Amino acid sequence: MTWDQGIHKSVTTLHATGVAREMTYLEAVRDALQYEMRRDPRVLVIGEDVGIYGGAFKLTQGLFEEFGGERVIDTPMSEACLIGAAVGMAFMGLRPVVEMQFADFISTGFDTIVQFAATNHYRWGSAVPIVIRAPSGGGLRGGPFHSQNPEAWFAHVPGLKVVAAATPADARGLLISAIRDPNPVIFFEYKFLYRSLRGPVPDGEDGLVPLGSAAIVRRGADLSIITYGAMVSEALAASDTLAAEDWNVEVLDLRTLKPLDTEAVLESVRRTGKALIVHEANLTGGIGGEVAALISQHAFESLDGPITRLAAPDTPVPYTPPLEDAYRPNRQKIAEAARALLKY
Amino acid sequence: MDPTPEVLRRAHYWMRFARAFDDRCITMYKQGKIAGGYFSQLGHEAISVGASLALGSADIIAPMHRDVGAYFVRGLTPRRVAAQYYGRAAGPSGGRDANMHGLGDLSIGIVGFVSHLPQSLPVAAGIAHAFKLKREPRVAMTFVGDGSASEGLAHETLNWAGVFQLPIVFIVENNQYAYSTPLARQTRVPDLARRADGYGIPGLIVDGNDFFAVFTAASEAVERARAGGGPTLIECKTMRMRGHAIHDNMAYVPPELIAEWQARDPIIRFEEQMRARGQLDEGALEEMIGQIETDIDDALAFADQAPYPDPATLRFGVYADSAGGGVA
Ligand SMILES: Cc1ncc(C[n+]2csc(CCOP(=O)(O)OP(=O)(O)O)c2C)c(N)n1
């Protein structure tokens, strides 16, 4: 299987006025890296095959040529050491951005993230400004070990920030903020979107997205779809379908899973009275449960229907197209779940 | 490499200090002043003090739980260490981390460790990596036990350090036991230094109860690292002379083994060597022992009177940019 080309049959383009540049999601991530590396000599990219080869997805292509092997560092296969080494580099004033080849392999470095990096500032006061980029999610027929969405593992851990970028503009705006953040940030990017989503991307210092702020990507009054990552595009497509049926659906993109923008969630649900929470990760113990609990405790009086979660089933991510399609939430499933809730 | 008289003076003071402090802390532990577990470093004095004295002030050290001597050598004051053991705000972790963990202070070049061994190894490698990238003539030193050397992370880090030829010194404290598990249950290879071959780095074995052997090996390794010669693994053979923690009576250790290593006590050995070199001033020794008692009294009294952290600060410092900021 090739990871870097020919996977997507169609490309979605987001349009906005007033922004000259248009790029794919992948190019936007690369642009953020390049921008920060040009701006700040402390920033390094470090990971497996990120250098001359340009990364498993060719995302870091060109960075090695521009910044050289001391700032775009190819490492041995050693996720745990990679993350620990990034912590040490950060202690010495560097700003390492670690690429996990696939988010799935982050489990190999789990200990180093949740025990060392996450706890350090609380334990003895030294900040750990590292970013771990984790290409996650399915839709590319990657099978059980190249398609996972492990964000909930990390959202549970005090001391980490967890980001999920849904558009090219946000991928850039959030990644720049993550690199400048003094804390360890797990940055989920969605490889399904890498080459299938194009959109306007601001330049320079424009378009920075602060961590911890959700965005209403479509305003509506009848129901809130609360989601993040690759499911934002699906929710938007579903909301178009529902609009044709005269339903006016709001789509809230969480953008950061920790810290969660609780105010934005509550404000939206208080207005619409109905909440459909969607994520690509499997259901049990997922982010959706947290959002549901938040709503039920603080916006109960506004509710006009059961808080509903749409997520993948509790199975590993299957490989074959019919099974993966049955596994992954998508626009049709979202529209269906929304209809049921709208009619409640 | 012959230590200077100043190094010898500091070595003597801190080895004896570490031992006396350890004794007093065990008493304090039994009196309930130290909560949690207490891990004695009895028998490790020559390693922690000898290795850390090989470093310069700009170098960085990432020690473990039987290296209290190294903390003192680096300049973490006995008052702050005692305050940490007592869970007071004045300790490096402000009462957040367990007594022997998180004794970190980067302003004096110390990385605090986490319980999960050997997580300090890759962090020290990253520090060394930063030195190399920034072309700073500095060195990182870190410690791993015979037990924690079995963890995959030890392999990853040694391999990494070898690949990148980092300025780092790995001190393997082979004290025969990891909790109750003897070396033979950790590995078929009795000499852990042999593993260095697999990473293409020099590995040497020294008598960990001989200050001069540890200091010389560490000094040469530090010099090589500083000159761009890459990492070194130094296996220090020693014996853990008390239980894993104080609750452990180590019934699983053959008494002959204890007796054998008792006869090789690192402090008695050091003083004999100093006598033989004509460098031990017996009068000054008496005075030093008195001074150490005074300094320990001071540290423990300070810790005893130091305030606990305010529960209102419970949530402070989880994030570097959160309200309340970091710990002091
Ligand atoms: C990953 C991990 N597993 C288990 C433990 C519990 N534990 C603490 S110290 C220890 C033994 C360590 O042995 P060694 O590395 O030889 O050091 P020593 O205590 O002998 O100085 C164990 C099992 C731990 N701290 N970390």
pLDDT tens for B159-172 read 999 999 999 999 99
Ligand 1 center–CA B151 separation, angstroms = 10
Inter-chain contact A78–B160, Cβ cutoff 8 Å? yes
Q: Is B44 in the pocket of ligand 1 (CB under 6 A)?
A: no
Token pair 């595009």 in the structure block, residue:
A233
**Residue B323: per-residue pLDDT:** 53
Mean pLDDT for chain B?
96
Ligand 1 center–CA B195 separation, angstroms = 19
> What letter does residue B69 receive in the DSSP assignment?
H
- Which burial class, exposed, middle or buried, applies to B275 when counting CB atoms under 10 A from its CB (0-12, 13-18, 19+)? exposed
Would you say A227 and A235 are in contact if contact means Cβ atoms under 8 Å apart? Answer: yes
Exposure letters A200-228 (e unless 16+ CB within 10 A, then b):
bbbeeeebebebbebbebbebebbbbbbb
**Residue A24: per-residue pLDDT:** 98
How sure is the predictor about B287, in pLDDT bands with cuts at 50, 70 and 90?
very high
pLDDT tens for B194-252 read 999 999 999 999 999 999 999 999 999 999 999 999 999 999 999 999 999 999 999 99
**Residue A18: per-residue pLDDT:** 78
Q: How many CA atoms lie within 13 A of B155 on its CB side?
A: 7
**Residue A6: per-residue pLDDT:** 53
Inter-chain contact A116–B116, Cβ cutoff 8 Å? yes
pLDDT tens for B298-325 read 999 999 999 999 999 999 999 998 655 4
pLDDT tens for A298-331 read 999 999 999 999 999 999 999 999 999 999 999 9
How sure is the predictor about B13, in pLDDT bands with cuts at 50, 70 and 90?
very high
Q: How many CA atoms lie within 13 A of A314 on its CB side?
A: 4
**Residue B326: per-residue pLDDT:** 43
Question: What mean pLDDT is predicted for residues B71-81?
Answer: 98
Cβ contacts below 8 Å, chain A against chain B, sum to: 150
Token representation of residue B113:
């460790």
At B256, the amino acid letter reads E
> What letter does residue B111 receive in the DSSP assignment?
P
Quote the minimal CA–CA distance from B34 to chain A in Å: 18
Atom number, ligand 1, closest to the C-alpha of residue B175: 20
- The SS3 call for residue B9 is helix
At A85, the amino acid letter reads A
Atom number, ligand 1, closest to the C-alpha of residue B177: 20
Which of A92, A76, A83, A77 has the alpha carbon at shortest distance from A112?
A83
Atom number, ligand 1, closest to the C-alpha of residue A111: 1
Quote the minimal CA–CA distance from B61 to chain A in Å: 11
Q: What is the 3-state secondary structure (H, E, C) of chain A?
A: CCCCCCCCCCCEECCCCCCCCEEEHHHHHHHHHHHHHHHCCCEEEEECCCCCCCCCCCCCCCHHHHHCCCCEEECCCCHHHHHHHHHHHHHCCCEEEEECCCHHHHHHHHHHHHHHHCCHHHHHCCCCCCEEEEEECCCCCCCCCCCCCCHHHHHCCCCCEEEECCCHHHHHHHHHHHHHCCCCEEEEEEHHHHCCEEEECCCCCCCCCCCCCCEEEECCCCEEEEECCCHHHHHHHHHHHHHHCCCCEEEEECCEEECCCHHHHHHHHHHHCCEEEEEEEECCCCHHHHHHHHHHHHCHHHCCCCCEEEEECCCCCCCCHHHHHHHCCCHHHHHHHHHHHHCC
- The SS3 call for residue B154 is helix
Question: What mean pLDDT is predicted for residues B267-288?
Answer: 96
CB proximity under 8 Å: B 132-191 to A: 133-134, 140, 152-153, 156-157, 159-160, 163
Task: Give catalytic residue positions of A.
Answer: 146
The pTM of this model reads 0.96
Name every chain B residue with its beta carbon within 8 A of the beta carbon of A90.
126
Q: What is the 3-state secondary structure (H, E, C) of B203-262?
A: EEEEECCCHHHHHHHHHHHHHHHHCCCCCEEEEEECCCCCCCCCCCCCCCCCHHHHHHHH
Which of A100, A161, A109 has the alpha carbon at shortest distance from A134?
A100
Question: Which residues of chain A, if any, have pLDDT below 70?
Answer: 1-9
Contact residues of A toward B, CB < 8 A: 44, 70, 75-76, 78, 80-94, 96, 111-112, 115-116, 119-129, 158-159, 161, 181-183
Tell whether B61 is within 8 A of chain A (Cβ).
no
Which of A92, A156, A163, A180 has the most B C-beta neighbours within 10 Å, making it the best mutation to test the interface with B? A92
